[in-house]
Amino acid sequence: MSADEPQALEQEALAAIEQAADERALDEVRVRYLGKKGALSVQMKGLGKLPPEERKARGQVLNALRQKLEQAIAERRAALQAEALQKQLAAERVDVTLPARPERQGRVHPVSHVWEEVVEIFADLGFSVAEGPHIETDWYNFEALNIPPSHPARQEHDTFYFHANEQGERKLLRTHTSPVQIHTMESQQPPIRIIAPGRTFRCDSDQTHTPMFHQVEALVIDRDITMGHLKWTLEEFCKAFFETDNVKMRFRASHFPFTEPSMEVDINCTWEGGQVKVGEGDDWLEILGSGMVHPNVLKAGGLNPDEWQGFAFGIGIDRLAMLKYGIPDLRAFFDTDIRWLKHYGFTALQIPTLSGGLSA
């Protein structure tokens, strides 16, 4: 029996399929038997030369054979793919129980750590976390916050502007987290109790200022909210954050266009020996701005000021980190110096909790 006979062809092809060691070899086998010039196709072409009575029967045999071979190839392909996957999985296996190599041990940046501490404290007080975009429109960053185009407060913000778009609109990098107040009023009905930690940007750089820094905004809106609620919240926060009842806070009358009345809060500290320490000495470092939400801001957020009141504040997260962990220069925060990070950073398992200790 020669391979010209369907039966012999079948045996030969099936054996070749079985032996194909990878997908490429299998493809060669497919072409050899089923391709345009393949063995089976040659036999198909030969049908024309057969007498009509044999042609039909032979045609059926060959068609059945084609189906059988196609199926065998598909099965072999699936088996080869499964095998390859198993091999790859075995080769790429990672033993997650191995300890990290010493040079790969990362640290959690103090800003990230303090961010988590702040979230933990306010979550405990019943606040939820809100977010807003870094790239803002003039409306959200200024106008809705009661800072019209000619307002002098705009100069104080050292704003980074983008080029104007086709509509003549100049987007900007948000200079504070206060725009999240407006986004929140738009998306939520009062009572509102949120904090919004995030990045903020101003064209400013010295020992206590960096062009990118972090703030956490807080916004509370309800009926009958007073300065008393604001002051209590700030005191509770400071005690929890500095993990002592001894923090001295100074409430200073101030001005922000989006709050009325407004006050700034300083924390007492000392800078002796290049180290900052909280609760000692007679220096003060400003850590936050606060006040009662201005009626115009409530209106811009779609709320009726006769019905709703609120307080808001914005805290500098980086400042908090400097004070709590005695880090003298803010610029070093963003130098990505691994030695600095090893010294001031936290290990991954030092997750701040109120029960377990924030800085533990």
The contact set with ligand PHE (CB under 6 A) reads 176, 178, 256, 259, 262, 289-291, 312-314
**Least separation in angstroms between CB 277 and ligand PHE:** 25
Quick one: 29 or 218, whose CB is closer to ligand PHE?
Answer: 218
Quick one: 114 or 312, whose CB is closer to ligand PHE?
Answer: 312
Q: How far is the C-alpha of 68 from the C-alpha of 27, rounded, in Å?
A: 16
Quick one: 146 or 259, whose CB is closer to ligand PHE?
Answer: 259
Quick one: 226 or 275, whose CB is closer to ligand PHE?
Answer: 226
* DSSP label at residue 150: T
Determine the Cα angle at 352 with ends 351 and 356, to 5°: 100
**Least separation in angstroms between CB 254 and ligand PHE:** 8
Quick one: 197 or 291, whose CB is closer to ligand PHE?
Answer: 291
Of all residues in the chain, what percent are helix, strand and coil, respectively (each to 5)? 45, 20, 35
Please report, for residues 117, 120, 189, the alpha-carbon distance to residue 124 in angstroms, rounded to integers and kept in the order given: 11, 6, 21
**Least separation in angstroms between CB 117 and ligand PHE:** 19
**Least separation in angstroms between CB 336 and ligand PHE:** 25
**Which two tokens mark 105?**
């041990």
**Least separation in angstroms between CB 342 and ligand PHE:** 31
* Preceding amide of 52 cis, omega within 30: no
Q: How far is the C-alpha of 307 from the C-alpha of 301, rounded, in Å?
A: 13
Give yes or no for a contact between 77 and 26, defined as CB atoms under 8 angstroms apart. yes
